[in-house]
Amino acid sequence: MTMQPLPVQPYDLTPNKVVILDRDGVINEDSENYIKSLEEWRPYPQAIEAIARLSLHGWTVAVATNQSGLARGYFDEATLQLMHDNLCERVSAAGGSIAHIAYCPHGPDDDCACRKPKVGLLDQIQQRLNLENLRGAWMVGDSGRDLEAGIAKGCHPVLVRTGKGKKTEARENLERVWIFDDLAAFVDHLIEAERRAPQ
């Protein structure tokens, strides 16, 4: 088996050049019945291209995802790995990369430290990227749990209206939360804002 080298992180990696994404409802279609197989894992085409554009413009992209279907026995870790391998392959084919995928395998009653809105997944990403903190990074999700976890780590919270996003927008207090129709719209904004920023 040939081991692939880990992607080299930029020397000047700072939190404001890090984008952390929830998975289901942000990168791929969500389901009330859980995403239980590679066949059921259907990425939004514009999300794959958006992740690649972030990479090409110098952002480091990571994923933080609750996967309680593991604890419920709906799928196993090998199946989850197939989904994540497919995600990374699609992003790579589009010219980008994902630095790390952190997932919580526990159920809501397991009292773990990683299930969002707790910050364990973001701590894992912070350590993997060798950052002192995540203040100023971007946390993109479709639920209140995602936003809470990001805010607790000092990230800019971003809600997308895909997945559960519209329901979240209707019922949550979203003061100081950035809201976009989908991941591609957020990426458009981020790249354009950097382009317009004074040098």
Catalytic residue among 22, 30, 142, 182: 22
* Number of H-type helices and E-type strands within the chain: 6, 6
Exposure of 179 by Cβ count < 10 A (0-12 exposed, 13-18 middle, 19+ buried)? middle
What residues have CB less than 8 Å from 198, skipping those under 6 apart? Answer: none
In 112-196, where do the E strands start and end? 138-141, 156-160, 178-180
Burial 59-80 (b: 16+ CB within 10 A, else e): bbbbbbbbbbbbbeeebeeebb
Q: Do residues 52 and 91 lie in contact, with contact meaning Cβ atoms separated by under 8 Å?
A: yes
Residue 76: HSE in the Cβ half-sphere, 13 Å Cα cutoff: 1
Among this protein's residues, is 22 annotated catalytic? yes
Rg (CA), the chain: 16
Nearest to 61 by CA among 81, 89, 103, 91: 91
CA atoms of 19 and 182, how far apart (whole Å) = 14
Active-site amino acid positions: 22, 24
